[in-house]
Structure 1
Amino acid sequence: MIKSMQFTSACQLVDVFQPDETEKKSLQERYGMTNEMFGYAFDIDERARIESVDDSPLTLIVYDVVVSKDSDGEKDPTAPITFALDGETLVIFSAPINRFVVEQLLAEQSKLQAINATALQVMLRVMYKLSGRYFDVIHAIDKRRQHLQKNLKVKTSRDSITQLMDLQTNLVYYLTSLRSNTSVVADMSYSRNFRVSDDDKERIDDINVELRQGLEMAQMASEVIAHLSDAYTNVLDNDLNNTMKFLTVISILMAIPTIIFGFFGQNVDLPFSGTKSGWLATIGVSVIFTILVGILVKMHDFNKK
């Protein structure tokens, strides 16, 4: 689907959503798109960057956006969206996963018309809004971490540790996207492909500030979760070691009666074997040796080592 509209008096917006081959040919003929640019625009794994092709007047800007705020760990929380800019023309390539970007932009059309925004200013407005989404997900992760930390203080469990690891994984995506976006925005200030006015430079600086703040927040949240996960993993490991030590002591103490009973169960003449109270003597010997070994274990403080 391709929709072209005069978004503002200084910006023609071209909305490209899952185009077929005929629509791709139309984009090539009308706007100078190349097959290489199509490959960049529709690659869900494309990294954030600025790309220009000699055979096209368009400049491609790939920008990472937050597409999932639930932090469920079942899908990647970020994905790229691609802009193509040429003077007064702004082309936005969207997919189902990031379609909300175009919908939010269309909802702000009247505001942008009021200030007669150029194609570059419209794109910068979108990028500024998208940068703010990182704050929401990082705050949500921090709240989730606090909740898990309270639960861990009551009871340390592998499930809580696994949830912390999921949060850490999401933060890796956010950190990578924020670093890539920061690099893209920094390059825009010096790129010859854009006619950047003083107002545009100020907006670029605002986006850069947002991204750097988000990057610092994500780094801090990542470090806190990493330290917390390591600390409680060590607690679980210590608990496991203590359990194994306890079971080892029990196994030693239980082995003593087994050895003694097995010794007196042989078909040979042994002390007390001819007396009616021989079985009491056997039990007594077992109890005495078990107590002696228990005292020996206690003296060596085995359980606390």
Structure 2
Amino acid sequence: MNETLKRYVDVGLLIGAEIGTKIVGAIALWIVGRLVIRGILRLLDRTTKFRNIDETLARYLHSVASVLLNILLIITVLGVFGVQTFTFAGILAATGVAIGMAWSGLLANLAAGVFMIVLRPFKAGDVVTVAGVTGIVHSIGLFVTSVDTFDNERTFLGNNKIFGEIIKNHSDNPVARLNINVQLPHGADVHKVIAVLKEKLTNAPHAASNPAPFVEMVGMTLSGPLLVAHPYVESAKYPLALAAAHLVVYDEVAKLGYPTPAQAVVLREDGARLAAVNGHDARGLSQVSNSGTPEAP
């Protein structure tokens, strides 16, 4: 009995020592592997910077390399415990198919991110309007693109949503044209307003020196002549330039003495309904004086 117990104890100690050795080896392999991955990623970052690779593409390559190297490390660590890597790879592939069917939206974002990197509609640092959000592109990731709005808020947008909608890159061309409506009152000196706006918009903040701004009359409204000012500004400062140009237009029109056009609205109450509210008899409504005021009953 004692010999049997001793044999079990020896076997248990042997198994425990083997498992303990594998656990220690796995932990050591994980630590060393993480250090190696960090070194590889740093080398990759230095290489992309040395070769002047675009920052957006460099960040994308960093993300892809980090994911692939960590998956390889996990497979290697599992191999220490005797898990067949080919079997694990098959399980991983099957799991990937199942997850892909369940998370098709994420895969769509991934595919859109790859296309955006290849087609390059914008890059990090560009001022863009995507999916209704205007701001500066911070980074293009595997699944989402981050944009810093001019409210200093970082907004994350799915790559598939961006790629499926209209993309406006305000920084792609060095100069952008603004379209600012200028409503004047009746009797305003249109030629004088056009001359003043052309001069002042040239010196507006963030205005481009070439081409020169131009102002045109596009029609008449109930309020008066309608002008459209077209100043050219620095694309990188598009939102700031737009606000500054609006302020210049408002100030100069006010300096010329023209009031802000307003539309008068006249509300007329139905006579029968008004009489009913006041408690008048309906027959008394027919007794109306020449001035249009109902006679007293």
TM-score, scaled relative to structure 1: 0.25
TM-score, scaled relative to structure 2: 0.26
Higher CA-based Rg: 2
Query: Which of 1 and 2 has higher RCO (CA within 8 Å, sep 6+)?
Result: 1
